[in-house]
Structure 1
Amino acid sequence: MLITAAGPCPAFELFEPARQTSPFVFCSAHSGRAYPASFLASTRLKGTAIRRSEDLFVDQLFDFVPGLGAPFLIARFPRAYLDVNREPYELDPAMFEGELPAHVNSTSARVAGGLGTIPRIVAERQEIYAGKLAAEEALARIEDIYMPFHETLAGLIERTVEMFGMAILIDCHSMPSTVRALPGGRRPDIVIGDRFGTSAGARIVAAATARLSALGWDVRRNKPYAGGYVTERYGRPRRGVHAIQIELNRALYADEANFLPHHGFEAMRESLRAFVGFFTAEMEAELLRPAAAE
C-alpha cells in the first residue's frame, strides 16, 4: 500500500477477465503515477520533474485487455520510486546510508547509468535525491512491493501455461519522442523487443510486427529497446513462455511536456485494441488449435 497525498493507494493492481480465454498476459510496470508522500518529501526535484520517467498512460491505452480474455497487471507506484524492470537488487551503494546485502549487483550498466532498482535519476539525467537514502528504506521497497509484484506476474504466467500449455507475455511501455534516431533520422512509432531473438519465438514476433505495421505504424525491432529484465527473466520460448516488450512513441498520443493525453490518444487506443484482437486471435488459432486437435 502506498500512502500518497490523496490517501492510500494499492502498489499494484491486477485486472482479470471473468474467464481467461487467451494465453496472453499483459503487464505495465512503468505507468504508475501514485507518488508516496514520503518519497516526494525526499526528492530534490520540483513540480513535475519527478514524472519524467513515467510511461505515460500506458495502463489506460491497454485497459481493454481484460475484455479480450487476458489478465493485465499494472504498477501504481512510479518508476522513479522503484523499478521492477530491473533485477531485484541492482543497487548503487553510493546512494545509501547503511548496509546492503552481499548479493547486491552494483556493477551493472543500468546501475552505472543511475537506473537501478532504486533509480538515482529520472529521464534527462536529473538526480532524484537531495541526500543519501537509508538502506532499510530501499530494502523495504524491494521486499514489500518488488517481490510481491513479481510473484504475482510469475503466478499469472504459470497459471496461463497450465491452462493453455503456453503463455505470451506482452510487456507494455512507452518511449520519449526524443528517442535516439535510426539511420536516416527516423524515429519509430513502435519498437518491439525480444532480446534479439531470445525471449520469444520468431513466428510470434513476426506476427506482432506485421499486425502493427499493417495498422500504419512505423515498427522497428530491438532498436533502440531490446527489452529489459521482465522480458529477459520470463521469456523462455523452449518452455513455452514467450515475452515481448512493446514501446510506444509518446508523442503519438500525449503532450509529453504537460503530461496530458492529446487528440491522438483515442486513435492509438483503438489501434492497439485492433492489434491485440487480431494478434491474439491469430496466435490462438496457430498455436493452440493444432495442439488441441492432436
Structure 2
Amino acid sequence: MSSLIRFLPGSAPLVLDSPHSGVAYPADFGHDCELAVLRQAEDTHVEKLYDFAPALGVAWIEALFPRSYIDVNRNTTEIDVTLMEDDWSDAVETDPAALAKVRLGKGLIWRMTDEGTPIYRRKLTAAEVRSRIDQCWRPYHQAVQQAIADAHARHGYSIHLNCHSMPAIASAYSTDFPGLAHADFVIGDRDGTTAHPALSQALCDLLRGFGYDVAYNHPYKGVELVRRYGEPAQQRHSIQVEVNRKLYMDETTLEPNAHFATLRGHLRQMVDQLLAIDPRSYR
C-alpha cells in the first residue's frame, strides 16, 4: 500500500472513504500557485469529522495527498491534454458528459483552482502523470475496491459512503452552477444508479431529522468513486455525501468552528443508523 494512502480495513458492511482531504503536498508537485490558494481545494477536516468510524468496525480509506495533485475521483481517461508537454498515448475520455470536469479545469490533473487560478506555468510530462497514477490513483482505488469486496463477502451487501465537503457558495469553476448557495448536505447516487434510491432517501430523511437542509443529486450526483463501485443490483451501494463547510469551519482560516463537535456527533449517529440498515429489504 502506498504511503500516501491511509487504509484501515473493517468488519462492518459499511465502507467510508475521503478522497479529497489530503494535506501532504508531494515535493514533485511543481505548482506555481500559492499554497494558501491550493488549500482552498481541500475537503478540509473531513477525515476528522469521521475519525470515529474505524472504532465501529467501519473500513476507512483516506488520500493523504491533495486532490489538486491528482484527483482520484476522476477516471484516468479524464486527461486535460492542454496540460501535456508530450503526447499522451493512453485512452482519453470522449463522452461529452464525462468531460464536464475537464472543461472546468478539474480533470484527473487539475489545470486551475475553483476560482480560476492557474496551478501551473509549465507543461506536465506523460511520465510524471503516469507516476501520479501509479503512486496515488491505483492504490487508492485498489483499497476502496478491496474494502467493498471484503464487506460484501462478509455480509452479503455493502454500503459505501464517499465523503466530501463543499463550500457554502459554489465557486466560479467548481460546478455548472456558479454562485449557487449549497444545501447543508447533498446526497448523490447518480440518479439512483449507484445505490438503491430507498437507501439514499433514508439517508436524506435521517439527516433532515437532525434539522439539516438536504438536496438529492443536485448539484452533485457523485463522480468516479461511486460510479465505479456502486452496483445496487448486486447489493453494492455507493453514495456520495457532501457536507457544507459552513457547518463546521471558517472557510477563510480553515479553522473548525463552534459547531464542529455537533456535526461530528450527528455524523456518528448517521453511521450508527446506517449500520442497522440491511438494504436487501428494499424492493
Deviation at 1:186, TM superposition (A): 5.7
Deviation at 1:57, TM superposition (A): 0.7
Deviation at 1:34, TM superposition (A): 0.6
In the alignment, is residue 73 of structure 1 matched against residue 61 of structure 2? Answer: yes
1:140-191 CA deviation, whole Å, 9 max, x = no partner? 10122111111111111111111111111100000001138x9xx8631000
1:91-135 CA deviation, whole Å, 9 max, x = no partner? 111101122124122661221211111111122121100111122
Question: Secondary structure, in 3 states, of the residue corresponding to 1:242?
Answer: strand
Assess if the C-alpha contact under 8 Å between 1:90 and 1:117 holds in 2: yes
Question: Secondary structure, in 3 states, of the residue corresponding to 1:94?
Answer: helix
Corresponding residue for residue 161 of structure 2? 170
- Equivalent-residue separation in structure 2 for 1:122 and 1:186 (angstroms): 19
In the alignment, is residue 247 of structure 1 matched against residue 238 of structure 2? Answer: no
Corresponding residue for residue 100 of structure 2? 109
Corresponding residue for residue 253 of structure 2? 258
TM-score (norm 2): 0.91
Larger Rg, first or second structure (1 or 2)? 1
Unaligned ranges ≥5, structure 2: 172-176
Assess if the C-alpha contact under 8 Å between 2:71 and 2:108 holds in 1: yes
- Equivalent-residue separation in structure 2 for 1:161 and 1:16 (angstroms): 13
Percent identity over the alignment?
Answer: 36
Q: Look up the equivalent residue of 1:132 and give its one-letter code.
A: K
In the alignment, is residue 46 of structure 1 matched against residue 37 of structure 2? Answer: no
Assess if the C-alpha contact under 8 Å between 2:20 and 2:43 holds in 1: yes
Unaligned ranges ≥5, structure 1: 3-9
RMSD across aligned C-alpha pairs, in angstroms?
2.1
Corresponding residue for residue 200 of structure 1? 195
1:207-260 CA deviation, whole Å, 9 max, x = no partner? 111111111111110111111111111111011111000000001101111121
Assess if the C-alpha contact under 8 Å between 1:200 and 1:236 holds in 2: yes
- Equivalent-residue separation in structure 1 for 2:182 and 2:72 (angstroms): 26
Question: Secondary structure, in 3 states, of the residue corresponding to 1:127?
Answer: coil
Runs of 4+ in 1 over 3 A off after TM superposition: none
In the alignment, is residue 31 of structure 1 matched against residue 26 of structure 2? Answer: no
Q: Which stretch shows the higher mean deviation, 70-79 or 130-139?
A: 130-139
Q: How many matched pairs?
A: 273
